[in-house]
Structure 1
Amino acid sequence: MRRPFFRRPPAPLALAIACAICMPAAAQTTDADGATRLDAVIVTGTRAADRTVLESTSPIDVLDAEDLRRAGVAGGELGSALQTLLPSFNFPRQSNSGGADHVRAAQLRGLSPDQVLVLINGKRRHTSALVSTGSKIGRGTTPVDFNAIPVSAIARIEVLRDGAGAQYGSDAVAGVVNVILDDAADGGAFEASYGLHHTDLAPIGRTLTDGQTSFASAKVGTALGDEGFLRVGLEARNREATNRAGFDQVPPWDRTDANLAVQGRRNYHLGDGESQDLNGWFNTEVPVGETATLYGFGTYHQRDTEGANYYRYPDGEANWPQVYPDGFRPVSIGENLDVGAVAGVRGQWGEWNVDASLNHGRNEFTFRLRDSINASLGPGSPTRFRTGDYAFSQSLLNLDLSRGFETFTDYHTVAAGLELRTERYETGAGDPASYAVGPYTDRPAGSQAGGGLTPQDEADLDRDVASLYASLASSFGERLVTDVAVRYEDYDDFGGELTGRLAARYEFAPAFALRGALSNNFRAPALAQTGYESTSTGYSAAGQIVQGRLLSVNNPIARALGATDLSPEKSINASLGFTSRIGRRFDVALDLFQIEIDDRIALSEAITGDALTAFVDANFDVARIESAQFFVNAADTRTRGAELVANWRDALAGGQLHLTGAWSYAKTELRNVVATPQQLAALDPDYVLFGVEERNTLTDAAPRTRGQFTATWRDDRWHLLARVQRHGSAKRVFNFGGGYEPEQVYGAEWQLDAEVELRLAQRWTLAVGGQNITDEYPDLSNEDIFYFGNLPYDVLSPIGSNGAYWYTRVRYTF
């Protein structure tokens, strides 16, 4: 057991994580007494200063701090809280998935994680430095790390479910998540929680208790002068591992006497790895003179995580029995450091509102391995390795101008601005022993479960981006509102692109309105997708040891296999919605959408086999390669979907009752799939550049539907919550070679959550609850996929494979 990089929180006062108070999935927020407020002013998706949720031209979800506090699965995980609250948001738990065990990727509307833009207080957030190459969901992307954003820092979150590239720039294809930080000038809160999984694991016939999670947060604010403030906070979290692996049946090709001696054991790991997190944040404003305000905010995140890898048998070419007589299972270790800070000034310049800011964010990730070996070095090989360093930084200069003016009975807000952005992506080689080719040439080279980055893999890329935008938000009387925006964005490596957006809402009757939007959006390839390379030694999906390379499109080997320069993704978004509010008790919203994306970027299929190895050996002076992949503009896609939400609120038994139903559907289809290049087909007619596994990643791996029904009741002392969720079906497809392509559809699953919170005194509350309290699991994987009993559950279903989770939580406010 490694030593945590910070001390664990003291013995918890409460049990962890919660469930959402209300599901405001159709652009709603909740006030202190639980009644939904449709008149909440929004700042996302429009430049108008007084536009409310009800008047939004596109669907916007507004989640307040109480929603997030009661929905943060595993104590303080923002991504898990958003999945609980938003049916269109998917945040699966990965295992045996390389970097995705350490940095989880999120989807909005079923699209890729790098097609959603994240803002903090309206300012662009940087992405992770780690490329997800071993995952299923988010494969080949560098996602924003939602769990690096402290939950206790958040006042509310606005989620715009629509393309908004013309307003916010590249990446806003599926939508925008805008995190608004707490700005209270006084008071504070302390919260502690503790929880654990208690579950019956059918594949092994045992009852398990694991995944113990403790979480503590504290925040406080103070006034600075008459109108300024400083708000600061700190969080700490410790999560123990879970394991849902089955009994090892041992693959037929590994059934030697030594290997059969470990048959029937739980040699593998399936579930969450250990994790320790430390978060800090601040948010401040200071008036300067009569018309200007200096502001600043920032976040600090440090996380130490462990990830799972396949077990290596005692009698195998990857092992030396002198080192591991019972075989070994390498453990990956992630050291994640994430910081972001913004400083700016806003004020008045004549009739104009002016906002100028500097924004810098950086993510550093170090990958390590323990309980591993470089078999080619012999029994004297190290068993611990540093396999690579990754860094991504982003700096921005923003200048925004806006002003309002009236024309007869109409009101308009015009805005314009510029953004200068620079990005840099770097990778560093691992320990020499992690990639060395030793004297034992009959053994695989490199550290097992992820060979180290070699000097030839190192990348150092940067680029500059400049953009100009203009927008006009208008209210024509009381019935019609519109948003128009245009942006020109220029990349020094991919050229320029003009994007635009037109959205409108028309209230054709006092309680009924139609809204719609049309936009085109642009996403340049990430620097990592352009230049990332890595060398690996591990197990293929079929269970065979493979030495492989992920190549940049500029690598001579990739070029010889048919790689070409990447093109930016371009999309057209269209949506049409209906909203209705009848009295103060009932409201409903239905939105239909279509997103067409050209030149979707994805990883190629893993190209393996003797033909590849012979070709590389004959033409390139590099170490032996048995597998190769590179990024491609894989296909054009079309995603069609619908999102429905309805709310009912009323007084009941001296308190307030709130009922919410929400449902989302998104189906992605492939169009114009990239052809296998002649160079690749000439090596082997069976080679396919973009095959069944990667097609499955884009289309069927994530559930198309998710729905939930939430009921809450509260009075001055009690808050009761019950929520039923339905996670739709998902499909897994493998390509084991030779035409063997097993697949399985995992059926829909139902999940029940519940929580009771009691106000003990004016400042103290105590909550007890559970998530997935009926202890549901995804379908068991079939014999083609469950890897000889070791991995009985897949990672695709949002319900996860940890079973029931029980928690308690205590909170003190002042």
Structure 2
Amino acid sequence: MRRPAAAPLALSISLVLALPASPLRAQDTAPSSDPVQLDNVIVTGTRARDRTVLESTSPIDLLAGEDIRKASANGELGSALQALLPSFNFPRQSNSGGADHIRAAQLRGLSPDQVLVLVNGKRRHITSLVNTDSKIGKGTTPVDFNAIPVSAIKRIEVLRDGAGAQYGSDAVAGVINIILDDASEGGSWEVSYGAHHTDVAPIGQTLTDGQTTFVSGQVGTAVGDGGFVRGGLEYRNREATNRAGFDQIPFFEEQTPANLALAGQRNYALGDGASKDINTWFNSEIPLGDSALLYAFGTFHQTESQGDNYFRYPDSVATWTEVYPDGYRPVSIGENQDLAAVAGVRGQWGDWDYDASLNHGRNAFTYRLRNSLNASLGPGSPTRFKTGDYEFQQTLANLDLSRVWDAHTFAAGLELRHENYQTGAGDPAAYAAGPYTDRPTGSQAGGGLTPQDTADLSRDVASVYASLSSQFGEKLSTDVAARYEHYDDFGNELTGKLAARYQFAPAFALRASASNNFRAPSLSQIGYEATSTGYDASGRLLQGRLLSVNNPIAQALGAQPLQPEKSVNLSLGFTSRIGEHFDLSLDVFRIDIDDRVALTESITGDALTSFIDDNFGVAGVQSANFFINAADTRTEGAELVGNWRQALGAGELLLTGTYSYAETEIKRVAATPAELLAIDPDYVLFGLEESNTLTDAAPRTRAMFSANWNSDRWSLLGRLTRHGSATRVFDFGGGFVPTQTYGAEWQLDAEVEYRVSDSWSIALGGNNLTDEYPDLSNQDISYFGNLPYDVLSPIGSNGAYYYGRVRYAF
């Protein structure tokens, strides 16, 4: 929906800059100051050592560190990737539980746990917090992109193809390989400050909020003959935003004078929560004689973030007016600590190159609540709680060997991986059932993990692989790979990939690939359990349980042991490079995935409550769900990238156009088990809401046009993006299925940077300069006017963002 009151200054700036924007370097990794370089050597997707992007057998995007830095005006890597990659989706969440603290990303519209993330070619660990209340990424423990420092990045290579045989499980949608800065001298520091300034239509006000300060610094030094050590530090402080509307008071709440007195107020919050982040990193190589070197790199991230939750009215069973006479809105607090460290030796042994490494990653998350209450404990209840601890650790040992002869590169390797997932109980008061049996038990907005909910699971994975990259004359190149993996909990699996490129004319080539992939359910999907006290999508206050498939209650409801996801990827592409000015790639793909792991629908109702109480002696469970192999899906799509480079005036101009399309359809849905139908024949195991999560909740299309003009002193950047439509489906029971499709939205970003000297530069810019918002939610979805915008649209609901930046390089 176009905002009629867009800031005139922002529009003027955008017109002066003539729609320039930060470019997507989908076919180019040259720095912004040198956009005429056509192609660069890649290290992702092939073992050959001289392949470039346009010569690759599979589609690869390359993003230069300079472009990533400029696209991350708020210091978030995930936001920069969404700005630069047409197939990357990184929506902002609100009132979405853990997803308010760790946002999940999608590639090609698939689940966040179906993309593999590497740093310097080494597997990155996932997070420990399960997203159970979000729409995008529901039921997953994704990689936290914002835990990777923006200032550490030299470039990013994104392989948009199945790559399980090359890199191991999870590489269903593709691989994102983040290459760290390895400069042996120089450094920089940077300070930026920005804020949202926007017209909020639902309340008829102009707001300024979300003030964000971002500071980063890095430096490097040479070590020995050809070695280096480089490191840096980042700090980010973001204030909250709020786009909630005026409360109309839900009809199912008590229509008392105390509750009705709150009508017309902004009792809810919708937007980004406040957060403070610290990121540190290092990257190093130290020579060991003439033929080997020792390398090590790592990142450390620590953040404290806040999330929004539904308002509790003063005359409600969830409230004691002695504590909160005017009602209250619980605030979630996330304490997130993320560590990754890799060390290894790389060198030559005769005709062979070798790389031996150890890799450890750990994510620890503590979930807390403030401004909450355990109503069953009475007016003396605490108002602050720790609801649970979460931890995931991953340790790997790798040995990789490779050898080149003639036009062939052979590689083979061994990987041993150990994973451990643990959860810890929250404060006893967070889940206690107090003496007031007519009140809900557990802390509001998250009852927390009980001792019975805690998990401690481990697995060992061993794999061997072999690959062969070949060049047959000047026209034909191939990549062949096979991997054998053994999971101690899921047995053995063999995956393979065949990819080829044929240059049928000097400026034109065809490429194609076929692969099969394997993804075992994550340890959290196998063993995670939680008890919750909160509101469901329709606004009903429920006490619920997320059960593991090993729980007897879940098994009595029809839960079965989870099976791995298996997929087949097919792609066909066309590439062209004409002269020094123009290049183009078009790739179409199909991804078939069987037995996708997802959460069931929320099973609710008196029949469920009675069944669990009667058979297991657990009273008061009003809602239950668990993980299942929910469906078989097919995702089909196309991705187009084109670049034009041209000298213009005293500088160089780069124009980039991109388009991505990905549509997922469900081929088979898991049947509702007889055990569940025997409790209530109207129960559905996997229905409308969760099917919508897999198919239509993420935009199918995205298009971008960007321009980048650089001279010795000036850099003009701009980007015009079209985010496609997305659809929300709720099933409130009784045939009431509110549905809304949120239309496509256009977003304009722009920046002007002036280099005052060889060392100093200043920049002014803005994102979403025309202050666009998603369509307003209809009255069935906006929750009585409180949540006027949905979280599905990638454009978000924060409005225009303006920023300034000062940079010093030495």
Alignment of 1:210-229 (within 5 A): 210-229=209-228
* Other structure's SS at 1:305 match: strand
Q: 2:287 matched to 1:291?
A: no
In structure 2, the residue matched to 1:733 is: 729
Between the aligned residues of both structures, percent identity stands at 73
Deviation at 1:712, TM superposition (A): 1.4
Counterpart residue type for residue 231 of structure 1: R
Q: Distance in 1 between matches of 2:480 and 2:166?
A: 9
In structure 2, the residue matched to 1:649 is: 645
For 1:381-425, what per-residue CA distance to the aligned partner results, in whole angstroms no more than 9, with x for missing partners? 00000000000000000000000001xxxx000000000000000
Q: Distance in 2 between matches of 1:373 and 1:553?
A: 30
In structure 2, the residue matched to 1:173 is: 172
Tell me if structure 2 keeps the 8 A contact 1:374–1:434: yes
Q: 2:197 matched to 1:198?
A: yes
In structure 1, the residue matched to 2:402 is: 402
In structure 2, the residue matched to 1:137 is: 136
Q: 2:147 matched to 1:151?
A: no
* Other structure's SS at 1:29 match: coil
For 1:72-128, what per-residue CA distance to the aligned partner results, in whole angstroms no more than 9, with x for missing partners? 142x10000000000100000000000000000000000000000000000000000
Deviation at 1:31, TM superposition (A): 3.2
Tell me if structure 1 keeps the 8 A contact 2:377–2:433: yes
Q: Distance in 1 between matches of 2:57 and 2:515?
A: 13
Normalised by the length of structure 1, the TM-score is 0.97
Counterpart residue type for residue 67 of structure 2: D
In structure 2, the residue matched to 1:270 is: 270
Q: Distance in 1 between matches of 2:766 and 2:721?
A: 14
Q: 2:354 matched to 1:358?
A: no
In structure 1, the residue matched to 2:42 is: 42
Tell me if structure 2 keeps the 8 A contact 1:19–1:72: no
Deviation at 1:253, TM superposition (A): 2.0
Deviation at 1:30, TM superposition (A): 2.2
For 1:562-607, what per-residue CA distance to the aligned partner results, in whole angstroms no more than 9, with x for missing partners? 0000000000000000010111111111000000000000000000
Residue 612 of structure 1, aligned match among 608, 620, 633: 608
Q: Which runs of 5+ in 1 are unaligned?
A: 1-17
In structure 2, the residue matched to 1:454 is: 450
Counterpart residue type for residue 22 of structure 1: P
For 1:222-265, what per-residue CA distance to the aligned partner results, in whole angstroms no more than 9, with x for missing partners? 11111110001000000000000000000112221110011111
Which moved further from structure 2: 153-162 or 37-46?
37-46
Q: Distance in 1 between matches of 2:158 and 2:599?
A: 28
Deviation at 1:722, TM superposition (A): 2.0
Deviation at 1:21, TM superposition (A): 2.8
Q: Distance in 1 between matches of 2:517 and 2:205?
A: 51
Which moved further from structure 2: 730-739 or 531-540?
730-739
Q: Distance in 2 between matches of 1:48 and 1:209?
A: 51
Q: Distance in 2 between matches of 1:748 and 1:759?
A: 37
Residue 689 of structure 2, aligned match among 679, 687, 693: 693
Counterpart residue type for residue 47 of structure 2: R
Distance 1:180 1:416, change over 3 A: same
Q: Distance in 2 between matches of 1:77 and 1:41?
A: 27
- What is the number of equivalent residue pairs in this alignment? 791
For 1:648-690, what per-residue CA distance to the aligned partner results, in whole angstroms no more than 9, with x for missing partners? 1111112111111000000000011100000111111110000
For 1:599-633, what per-residue CA distance to the aligned partner results, in whole angstroms no more than 9, with x for missing partners? 00000000000010010010002242000000000
Counterpart residue type for residue 347 of structure 1: G
* Other structure's SS at 2:452 match: helix
Tell me if structure 2 keeps the 8 A contact 1:558–1:630: yes
For 1:703-727, what per-residue CA distance to the aligned partner results, in whole angstroms no more than 9, with x for missing partners? 0000010011111110111211000
Q: Distance in 2 between matches of 1:765 and 1:780?
A: 40
Q: 2:22 matched to 1:21?
A: yes
Alignment of 1:46-195 (within 5 A): 46-74=46-74, 76-195=75-194
Q: Distance in 2 between matches of 1:159 and 1:253?
A: 49
Q: Which runs of 5+ in 2 are unaligned?
A: 1-18
Q: Distance in 2 between matches of 1:592 and 1:486?
A: 23
Tell me if structure 2 keeps the 8 A contact 1:20–1:71: no
Tell me if structure 2 keeps the 8 A contact 1:29–1:36: no
Counterpart residue type for residue 609 of structure 2: T
Q: Distance in 1 between matches of 2:465 and 2:71?
A: 36
Residue 671 of structure 1, aligned match among 647, 663, 667: 667
Deviation at 1:318, TM superposition (A): 0.2
Counterpart residue type for residue 771 of structure 1: N
Alignment of 1:456-475 (within 5 A): 456-475=452-471
In structure 2, the residue matched to 1:14 is: none
Alignment of 1:322-721 (within 5 A): 322-406=322-406, 411-721=407-717
In structure 2, the residue matched to 1:10 is: none
* Other structure's SS at 1:70 match: helix
For 1:744-773, what per-residue CA distance to the aligned partner results, in whole angstroms no more than 9, with x for missing partners? 000000011111100011101111011100
Q: Distance in 2 between matches of 1:487 and 1:86?
A: 29
In structure 2, the residue matched to 1:8 is: none
Q: Distance in 2 between matches of 1:20 and 1:703?
A: 22
* Other structure's SS at 1:681 match: helix
Tell me if structure 2 keeps the 8 A contact 1:20–1:67: no
Q: Distance in 1 between matches of 2:556 and 2:136?
A: 29
For 1:51-70, what per-residue CA distance to the aligned partner results, in whole angstroms no more than 9, with x for missing partners? 11121111111101111011
Q: Distance in 2 between matches of 1:385 and 1:52?
A: 53
* Other structure's SS at 2:782 match: coil
Tell me if structure 1 keeps the 8 A contact 2:590–2:634: yes
Counterpart residue type for residue 320 of structure 2: W
Tell me if structure 1 keeps the 8 A contact 2:656–2:705: yes
Deviation at 1:36, TM superposition (A): 4.4
Q: Distance in 2 between matches of 1:253 and 1:729?
A: 32
Counterpart residue type for residue 195 of structure 2: L
Deviation at 1:349, TM superposition (A): 1.3
Counterpart residue type for residue 697 of structure 1: T
* Other structure's SS at 2:266 match: coil
Tell me if structure 1 keeps the 8 A contact 2:20–2:708: no
Tell me if structure 2 keeps the 8 A contact 1:342–1:357: yes
Q: Distance in 1 between matches of 2:764 and 2:231?
A: 28
Tell me if structure 1 keeps the 8 A contact 2:509–2:576: yes
Q: Distance in 2 between matches of 1:652 and 1:738?
A: 64
* Other structure's SS at 2:54 match: helix
Tell me if structure 2 keeps the 8 A contact 1:167–1:471: yes
* Other structure's SS at 1:788 match: coil
Counterpart residue type for residue 546 of structure 1: L
Counterpart residue type for residue 450 of structure 1: G
Tell me if structure 2 keeps the 8 A contact 1:523–1:569: yes
Q: Distance in 2 between matches of 1:218 and 1:104?
A: 25
Tell me if structure 1 keeps the 8 A contact 2:526–2:548: yes
Tell me if structure 2 keeps the 8 A contact 1:427–1:459: yes
In structure 2, the residue matched to 1:31 is: 31
Tell me if structure 1 keeps the 8 A contact 2:609–2:619: no
Q: Distance in 2 between matches of 1:672 and 1:603?
A: 16
For 1:192-225, what per-residue CA distance to the aligned partner results, in whole angstroms no more than 9, with x for missing partners? 1000000000000000000000000000001111
* Other structure's SS at 1:286 match: strand
In structure 2, the residue matched to 1:300 is: 300
Q: Distance in 2 between matches of 1:580 and 1:79?
A: 30
* Other structure's SS at 2:151 match: helix
Q: Distance in 2 between matches of 1:270 and 1:710?
A: 31
Deviation at 1:20, TM superposition (A): 6.0
In structure 1, the residue matched to 2:799 is: 803
Distance 1:257 1:32, change over 3 A: closer
Counterpart residue type for residue 221 of structure 2: T
Tell me if structure 2 keeps the 8 A contact 1:38–1:52: no
Q: Distance in 2 between matches of 1:377 and 1:269?
A: 27
* Other structure's SS at 1:167 match: helix
Tell me if structure 2 keeps the 8 A contact 1:659–1:712: yes
Tell me if structure 2 keeps the 8 A contact 1:170–1:521: yes
Tell me if structure 2 keeps the 8 A contact 1:34–1:658: no
